[in-house]
Amino acid sequence: MTSTKAPVLIIGARSDMARGIAAEYAKLGHPLQLAARNHDDLERDAADFRIRYSVEVTIHECDVTSMGSHDAFINGLSSLPAIVVSAVGVLGDQDADAGNVEASERVFDTNFVGPVLLLEKLAAKMAVLPDATAIVGIGSVAGDRGRGKNYIYGSAKAGFAAYLSGMRQKYVNSKLQITTVKPGFVRTAMTAGMETPAPLTTDADAFAARVVKAQQAGKLVYYDLRWRVLMSVICHVPEPIFKKMKF
């Protein structure tokens, strides 16, 4: 299987969202590099993509929270990717995580520290390539304003969004495009069991298609219009009123 398309690296490829994004790029003919912890579990998806879309697919072990392994991971890739999607994330349990050092560190390291340190290394290599490159970071609307129900997770995603914003400014004169994605409720294993409002909830495959379309169109931020409006309202609620709201 050979392709003239740029290779796409999906970090955190075991999630439903990441699987959908990988499929969308495979449909376009891009070779895939699927990376995640316990990477042997990715072989079934890799085989499916190879057969279904006739693209080259490699799998790689990657634990973003193992900061000392990042260099070895990058050096072990079959080739330097031209597109990187960071789909790593863990929701955690707000009540259990607050005040628990190990649990909170897991949320921060998975959603912010690990992805940031890995993307920093990848960006430095991708920005000097002669052709256009792209990094897509999957954040969350939870990072737009801290809420009592998920402020550990939300603050980590807020930091990730700020990092991606800074990266856009840093690499503005290069051919590296940085796209921030802010999903709301998406039907995935992460949200299984949660009571999510149907009008604000998107299927993982439909969301994945929109993410890839946004990146291909060169959008700097992808934000579902429904959530863009809702979060704009929430962010403008005065603090004395907001702190009394229960949602």
Q: What is the pTM of this model?
A: 0.89
Going residue by residue through the chain, which has 247 residues, state the pLDDT in tens, using 9 for 90 and above.
Answer: 556 788 999 999 998 889 999 999 999 999 999 999 988 889 999 999 999 999 999 999 999 999 999 999 999 998 999 999 999 999 888 888 888 899 999 999 999 999 999 999 999 999 999 999 999 999 998 888 888 888 999 999 999 999 999 999 999 999 999 999 987 665 555 555 565 655 556 677 888 998 999 999 998 887 777 777 877 888 888 888 988 887 6
Element (H, E) at 154: helix 151-170
Reported CATH class of domain 8-242: alpha beta
Q: How far is Cα 196 from Cα 185, in angstroms, rounded to an integer?
A: 7
Half-sphere exposure of 62 (CA within 13 A, CB side): 31
Tokens 């609620």 map to which residue? 237
How far is Cα 73 from Cα 34, in angstroms, rounded to an integer?
Answer: 12
Tokens of 39: 């990477």
